Structure formats: structure tokens, C-alpha cells
Amino acid sequence: MLDRVKTPIGALLIVCDDDGKLRAAEFHDHEDRMHRSLRLSSATQGGYALRKAPAPAAVRDPIEAYFAGDLGVIDRIEVATGGTPFQQRVWRALRKITPGKTLTYGTLAARIGADKAMRAVGAANGANPVSVVVPCHRLIGANGSLIRYGGGLERKRWLLQHEGVAV
């Protein structure tokens, strides 16, 4: 099912499966990226069909609450993203970064036991199919700069400021 959630930084498209798990979340002006990640997902390799329908409250309500200021609530959303084992490790580690905190790609690589894999972490971060919920926006460059955000750097800046990070 495909739903659209209004946010202060543009509509967020959310795709849930029949079990109510979040499969994709992407800003409306990056819908092509969402379809690409759905096509590549091991969970949907047999194909997928989207039908417009309201997302389950267990997904929609926490997303709306996050944008209203309840920052930790998105941690409750169940995701089913597919991905390689390495990508899944990176995505799980991203969800452990506390709202209002940032990490460098190198620090996250070290946290998952892959000290030299900063670029691989960056690639996995960039392939994240559930923007905001798996908080890829919390990764920054080694020099503290905002780099690489699929939804655009202005959205990354907004999300970090929303979470209380001085950008």
C-alpha cells in the first residue's frame, strides 16, 4: 500500500506491506528512487504492485509524531527492507543513533566492526529505502560537513536542526 504523509519539508511517500511493515519511505520528489529501491529489494524481487491506501496507524502515527517533535517515536516502526547482510547491519546501526546526535561514516564503520569500510557504509547509507525512519541523515562527513543525502541537503539540514543538532 502507498500512502502520502504531509511533512514540513514535503510529502513523504510511505509503502507498507500487507503485514503493516514499512518497506519504503521517500520524499515525493524522489519517487523514482523509491521505485528503484523497491525493484532492487530482495523482498520484492518477484515484483510489486502499489495501491493507494492509508498506511497502518503503527506507521503513520509515529511519522506524524516525529515531525511534530516526538523524535524517538519513529524507533517503534517495524521495517522490512530487504538488502544485503552488510546493508542490514548498517541500517540497524543507524537506528541506534540517538536523535540529536550525529556520527561520521568512519565512526559507524567502526561500530559495526568494519573499520576500513567507510565507503561501503556510505553506499549502504545511500541505499537506505526508508528515509527518516532509518535515520541516514544522522551521518556526516569526517570534517563535520553535511554530505550525501538522497532527499537533498536542505532536507538533511532541516531534519538535523529539527532534532536539535547545531548545523
Element (H, E) at 39: helix 31-40
Active site includes 16?
A: no
DSSP assigned state of 63: H
DSSP assigned state of 55: P
Cα(121)–Cα(90) distance, rounded to whole angstroms?
7
Catalytic hit among 108, 136, 159, 160:
136
Cα(38)–Cα(114) distance, rounded to whole angstroms?
27
DSSP assigned state of 134: S
Look at residue 21 and give its three-state secondary structure: coil
Closest CA to 44 of 14, 24, 20, 59: 24
- Which residues does the annotation mark as catalytic? 136
